[in-house]
Structure 1
Amino acid sequence: MTATIPGSSVHDTPTVPAPSRRRRIGAWIAIGVALLVVGGVGGAISAANQWAAHEALDPESAGPTGTRALAEVLRSHGVEVRVERSRAAAAADLAGAPATLVLPDSPALSDDAVAELVDAATDVVLVEPRSRTLELLLPGSAMAGVAPGDAVDPGCEVAEAERSGAISPGALYTPGPDAVGCYGVDGGSGLLVQDDGGHRIAAVDGGALFTNEHLADDGNAALAANLMGRHPLVVWYVPSTADTDLAGTDPTLGQLTPPWVSPVIVLLLIAGVAAGVWRGRRFGPLVAERLPVTVRASETTEGRARLYARAHDPLHAADRLRLGTLRRLAALLGLSANAAAGDISDAAAGRLGADRTAVRGILLDDIPRSDADLVALSTRLRDMEDAVHAAVRPERSPR
């Protein structure tokens, strides 16, 4: 005969849940897929941004920010448009005959390279000038904000602007001492023109006026054709970083970041690896331990007896004995497990034909005052249980 530790079950033995290998593999696969999706989305966004920047003011692009429509308008007026992505090729085209150079902002070129291209052209149209280009080619001119968006009349004596009519200029510029400003708004001008007789330079926000999505607005197309169609050849230079003449244009990440960033990154990587080794170390699969431990009934009984004896509480020990007897009597008498103790006592008395008060005293009311009383009560409980057993099952001998 065996027993288990209280509150446990021999038949339903719980085990330590071992981690599922399939679940771990699935989790890592899910993490990998999530990283790939995030990387793919980020790469697509980055590529889209780079492509949009590449197409901006490109005369071969039909996108919203390209200028293919303007190139076709010029060609329809008999003007040859050559798109050059090499500074050397653009300079060679400009050296052959009078031509107009269309020059976007070129941060990859040095001041000397920009000046060399501009000097080779008869006319120059700056379609995306910045402060550096303005100061270099239109001394004294500067950026002056952005126009609110309403159409503005030329307000100057530049013939090309007067023939074009009103436009809605984007960026505004402050004209230098040798430049004429047109389309004035709040102290700035949407068009700057500097003409010294044989060489003319114009500056205008081509991104707001000459792109495919804005060319048909107001007098934008007319202004573009008038500024760029003064000569039979237009050389449209499309700058790129590959055409740079600057040295050391590819700084490393360490050069772009403060000096303390690299040591901090290394320290964080070391801390991450150490934390992974500390928290993730495993010397083998987890061992499933069968719990609870099964012990012999005699050991459990003796252990409880010693605890009750040490506590000097015979009443508590008597209650435990009575509970066991009542539970077994209920089973013998065919009563439910939830039957009241008084009902079990009355049923036992009726089965034995004994006095109900005496039976109730043994099963419920008698209070042991000492260990001797407890032993005597234990004997009476055992005798009563044997008697009921014999009365219910007379064919079997009492235990």
Structure 2
Amino acid sequence: MTATTATTELPTGPSDAAETVAPAPDDAAAHTSVSPTARTLWRRSRWYLFTALALLLVGLLIAGISGQSTFPALDPRSGDREGTLAAVHLLEKRGITVRTVDTERDLEAAVRTPGATVVVPRSDLLSTAQLRRLAAVPRGEGRLVLIAPQQPALDQLMPGSRVAGQTEGPANLVDTLTTPAGCTLPEANRAGSAELGGLTYLRGADDTGCYARHGHPTLLHRASGGRETVALGTGDPLTNDRIAEEGNASLALGLLGSRPQLVWYLPDYSAPAPSVARKSFTDYVPAGWYWATLQLAVAAGLAALWRARRLGPVVTEPLPVVVRATETTEGRARLYQRARAHGRAADALRRAARHRLAAALGIPATTGDVPEAALCAAVAARLGHPAADVQQVLYGPAPTDDAALLRLTDDLDALERQVRQP
């Protein structure tokens, strides 16, 4: 017996001798293969891929169209109606340096800088602790401009001033209309009438009130040495769509251009405070995407059901070529030999030998394999050999090389031959 046949799995019964398989010749296999090719898979799935790509492009297009401006109101970088880019251009033409800061540390540094005008457009979104820290910063000889400050900001940055109507209930909000200056503030006198409104205020002892509406000013100015604080009831006269109306441009240049530097505080107000728990990724996913995912899952399920019904059940087909079972056995033996699977080959040989010996001795295989104790005892009694020797041949350890596998094959052949012809 050669090394090739030694690794061959022996037939396990009479039916194996008539085993039929379908390894047709090369030309026939090329024409009768039922495995899908790359071309077939592409033909079947291309419409699904095109549909998914189209949905993705439409979703991106809708997201891009429906996306809102990235700039908030009164942003000096924004050219929208509510932006202040036009006022910034006018200031830059006069030699004013304009920059933006977005951190509290930079804001405090700007407030300390002499010769700087600092604009806080959304002071109502600052916490009380932030306002208290800002009020405690030693200020240089500059100007701090608060746009539509609420009472908490006034208490910290302009103590003594109040929002009109705040004590009785909601603050008094008035429409933005052309209003005369009506005060001695130089910037307001040069501008003349301007479009003011929004919040109205009650003046403190050191305040100058301008542009009064219903008896309450919409602009407060407080000076203490070289430090100035301005409260503006609305940012409308600074916006791009109103800068050219009345004396708005002159007022904007006067309030924001009195110092060589202009610093605009623009933090990310949507970001959570440090004390707030961090959000997970799913918190930032819009609710509509969950419904879209559910709809896609339902559509995928329906498509799978449709394709399954279309393909139908598996249909058996007679094979075009009949070959001998020994060819399959030899092919498997060559695979074992190439993989150096000595243990797998030995296990196949032993299992086949055990089944043939059990059939010859009348021992039933109740669980798919032959009972070890019964088979070893029957073979030992038949041949008069020790049961341990029989067990070593039929159930021993796996061989580690080709020579040991050949010896095991010879021992199995001899054992089976002696049992059949004692």
TM-score of the aligned structures, taking structure 2 as reference length: 0.47
TM-score of the aligned structures, taking structure 1 as reference length: 0.49
